[in-house]
Each structure stands twice: as structure tokens, then as C-alpha cells.
Structure 1
Amino acid sequence: MLRLSSSILASDFTKLGECVARAEKAGVDFVHIDVMDGMFVPQISFGEPIIKSLRSATALPFDVHLMVQDPEKMVPALKECGADIVTVHAEATKHLDRTINQIKELGMIAGVALNPSTPIENIKYVLKSVGLVLIMTVNPGYGGQKFIPYSIDKLKELKEMCQKLDANPMIEVDGGIGFDNARDVIDAGADVLVAGTAIFKGNIEDNVSRFKLIMGQ
């Protein structure tokens, strides 16, 4: 099943609750929340208070993407904030397997993210333990960047590895996803499309409808 995750990093922060509500009504499936610490990536973005305050604004699952060093330190608080999916970077924790289990033990879906240049092989042994794999299709830290073309090959490689290992995580793509490449990433194996600028720039309802049409929904 294909899903659309709206990245609020590209929304109007003065109308954050309204943007989320409009996206939900338009038909998005997840709210994608990028948490940045200014160390793993250059920017600082949302923290726990904002995530918690947004929880009452929508019934949609919170798809939380941790772009932070030592993400395991934040996991318990995210449970309290109402997170449903917590994705950590393989590059950001020394004990990936332990962190994945920590997320799952708290009743959330565990995801693992890979930067563009990180090989798929690096997550081979945890692939059957996670519910989601996030392929970064831009270098993380800034919204509105251009899609990296070799990501298509990486998606195909991931899909092939999942089939070989009988693993069934959702495959999510994040970075530069728009109407021009959405079908390409779906055909390469993506199940979940994260879109920010392409949803929140212009008319939210029209943009979501365009994505859903591409997704066959």
C-alpha cells in the first residue's frame, strides 16, 4: 500500500496546526516530523514540546525522523509525545540494534534511515527487525533540495535485498520528492513518499490530490 507523508518542515510555522489539519483532510497518511539537533545535521528544527502540542491537532500517525546524535536518548520522550514511528539514522548511533529494540519495546514502529552515500549493506542484519527503512534522497539537514538521481538504483537494491531476506519493511523516500519523480521512486520500490515543499507550497489540497493521482489513489 502506498502512503503519503507530509513533511511539516516545509509548512508555514505560524500556521502549523492549520497546515497539518488541511493536509489530513486532503488525504495524507502520515505527518512527517524532522527532529534536528544542529550536530548530526547543521540545522535545528522541532523538539518535544512542538510534537506534543501537535498531537491534539490530528489523528494521523506521527512519522518522526530523528536527525540527531545519540537518538536513543530521545526515544522515551517521543513515546510520551505521541510518536507512532521513530526512525533513527544508522550513522548516528553506535548501537543500532539496541536502539531499534528500544523503540519497539515502547510500542512504536522502529525505522532506520540511511544518508545518500551510506550503502544498503550496512543495515542488512537489522532489516528484518525494522518496520520502515528511510532512504534519504538528498543530504539531510535542509528542505527544498534537489533529488539525487542515484537514489533510484539504491531503492532497487534495497527492494531486492528485502525480497532475498524475506523482510517486509515499509520503504520510505525523503528529499526532493515531487510530481516529476514520484512515479519513478514508486516503480523503484518506495511505499511511502515524504513530501514537504511539493505539498505545502501553493494549494495543499490540490497538491495532495496530484500526488494521490500519481499513486493511483
Structure 2
Amino acid sequence: MAVQITPSILNADFAALGAEVARIASADWVHLDVMDNHFVPNLTFGPAMVEAIAQSTDLPLDAHLMIDDPDREAPAYVEAGCGSVTFHAEATRAPVRLARELRALGARACLGLRPATSIEPYADLLPEFDTILLMSVEPGFGGQRFLDVVVSKIRRARELIERHGGEIWLQVDGGVSPDTIERCAEAGADVFVAGSAVYSADDPDAMVRRLRDLATAASRLG
């Protein structure tokens, strides 16, 4: 599949999110980091804000739920307008049931893993998910440095996905920048979340296009 860039608005101006999303018109998705100050030590926003963002853009929304009770809360984000919802393996009690519920509501069901969480225990469950998201920083805050140890995990995840066949996207989130995206793409990732790299650029949309070009070139080499 083609490389996709999903900028995170975590580093955008929260007082003008509609305008901030308009600055990334070339994005494939808008990545929404939902945090509850329990699963991670930060607090952002909930379904009401997501619904407001959905009304301000035609870009599809990708909610990343870093919350304690996704089994109960995740469906509300589909109702708020998200076309993709990621919940964390470390937080959910019934990942397959939740994935099937999200799919039945019409959204992509995505499983997120923190850096220290292995992909191998979920190998047999991969066909239940549309996307696997690998965190390449500890979740909670934007602007962190990319963890190089995750590159080998990306490679292992891609190998497991290819064994199952089908189209499962492999997303990387955390520290993605022009300096790191090529390694991730070469290892097998095809969807990339970039926050500070995009919104610290003078032209965020130009950075989206640059990241896509770098990842596309690297994935062809791989």
C-alpha cells in the first residue's frame, strides 16, 4: 500500500484547532491523541472536541486512545466522527471483542503497543485488527526522541503481518522526523504519525509532503 502520513495535532495550537488542521491539507489522516491522565501522565480532550474537529475538516480522523478503559469508551469516538480508532493492548480487557465492535460501527480497529510491549503475543490475533500501531516513544508527551530499539520490532511486526497476508497497516508513532522516517519505512512501516516535526516546521504541509517522499523512497529500497 502507499505510504500514509498522519500528523498529530498534539503539538498544534489547541486554541485554533480548525485552523491548525487546515495547515496540513496534504495529510492522509489527522491523528488525535486522546489522553486521560491515568494510562499516561497527560490530559488532552474527549469525544466532544473530536466531534468539533470532525466538523471543521474533510480529512479523516484517526483517534489514538491512551486511556484506561477503552472497552467502554472507544465506541464514542466512532460516533464523534473518527474513521480509525486505536486502543492499547495494555489497557483493554477484550481486544478482539472491542475490535469487532469498532468494525461493526464502521471504523478501522487498531491495536497500539507501548515500546516495551512485544508484538509476538498478538501474532495469532493480527487478522482481527486493521492496523498495528507501534509506539517509538513512551506515550504521553510530544517532542520526545525516537527510540532506535523499536526499529527491530517494526521489522518483526512486518514479518508477522506478511505471514497472515491481507492488508494490515503498520503504524509508527513517536519521534518520527526526516531523520528517522526512512529507517522505519525500510523496516516495514507504512503509516507514520508525526507531530512536532510537522507543527514546528515553517510550512507544516510541506513537511507532510517531504516525510511522505522520504518514506516512499525508503520503502521502495526495502
Tell me which interval the TM-score lies in, with the shorter structure as reference length: over 0.9
RMSD value, Cα? 1.3
The alignment status of 1:80 with 2:44, answered yes or no, reads: no
Aligned-partner Cα distance in 2 for 1:6–1:209: 11
> Quick check: 1:71–1:93 contact (8 Å CA) kept in 2?
yes
Runs of 5+ consecutive residues of structure 2 not aligned to the other structure: 218-222
Displacement of 1:101 in angstroms is 1.1
Report the Cα distance in structure 1 between the residues aligned to 2:153 and 2:81, rounded to whole angstroms: 31
Partner residue, 2:10:
9
Residue-pair matches, total: 215
- Whether the aligned pair in 1 keeps the contact of 2:110 and 2:129 (CA below 8 Å) is yes
Preserved contact between residue 3 and residue 212 of structure 2 (Cα < 8 Å): no
Q: Aligned residue for 1:90?
A: 89
Per the alignment, residue 123 of structure 1 pairs with: 122
User: Aligned equivalents of 2:170 and 2:90: distance in 1?
Assistant: 18
What is residue 220 of structure 2 aligned with on the other side? Answer: none
Query: Paired residue for 1:211?
Result: 211
Q: How does 1:178-217 map to 2 (within 5 A)?
A: 178-203=177-202, 204-216=204-216
The correspondence of residues 1-217 of structure 1 with structure 2, limited to 5 A, is: 1-24=2-25, 27-203=26-202, 204-216=204-216
Q: Supply the distance in 2 between the matched residues of 1:216 and 1:155 (Cα, whole angstroms).
A: 16
Secondary structure at 1:215 match in 2: helix
C-alpha contact 1:89 1:112 (8 A) present in aligned 2: yes
Q: Could you list the runs of 5+ residues in structure 1 that have no partner in the other structure?
A: none
Hey, what's the Cα distance between the residues in 2 that align with 1:216 and 1:167? Answer: 20
How far off is 1:215 after superposition?
Answer: 3.2
Percent of pairs identical after alignment? 37
Aligned-residue offset at 1:107: 1.0
Q: Distance in 2 between matches of 1:62 and 1:100?
A: 17
Residue 167 (structure 1) shift: 4.4
TM-score, normalised relative to structure 1: 0.95
